[in-house]
Amino acid sequence: MRLWTLHPKYLDRAGLVALWREALLAQAVLRGETRGYRRHPQLIRFQNHVEPAAAITVYLRQIFCEAARRGYRFNPAKIGSRCDVSAIPVTRGQVLYEKEHLLGKLAVRDVKTRLVLAEADEPDLHPLFKICEGDVEPWEKIRRIRSLQ
């Protein structure tokens, strides 16, 4: 499961579809509708939010909007109606780590989309998040990244 902090506009088709599916799973976990994945590290920042279920709804809504912009038909009935919650802080180190991680994936899957992300010194964030100073988040499972820049 990967719930990207980066704006979904940086994802290729496969990444956006996977994010939708994984965020729907996260929504089920946060609503208590499934027993699996409850301790997944990607959920920690949502679980720590004062309104976890509302936060994942807002997260999903932006993914839905990006998919609609591209002409994809994701089902809006799968998500709630909340449109706003307080922002989740995310460290600059986390954002840069995710950028490198995604660049590595896009190098294999979609070179044109990779170029868009590679040109962004400070990539845009998903609107649910706000940047703060710091290293990679402690919940992140750091993998060695091979980016072709």
- pLDDT of 51 > 60? The answer is yes
- pLDDT of 146 > 70? The answer is no
Average pLDDT score over the chain: 93
CA distance 38 to 34: 8
Does 74 fall in a domain? yes
Domain count, the chain: 1
* Percentage of the chain exceeding pLDDT 70: 96
Does 57 fall in a domain? yes
Q: What is the mean pLDDT of residues 26-43?
A: 89
Does 146 fall in a domain? no
Q: What is the dihedral of CA 25, 125, 88, 141, to 10 degrees?
A: 60
Range of the domain at 20: 8-132
* Percentage of the chain exceeding pLDDT 90: 85
- pLDDT of 149 > 50? The answer is no
Taking residue 115's Cβ as centre, other Cβ atoms within 10 Å add up to 11
Does 144 fall in a domain? no
Does 143 fall in a domain? no
- pLDDT of 17 > 50? The answer is yes
Does 100 fall in a domain? yes
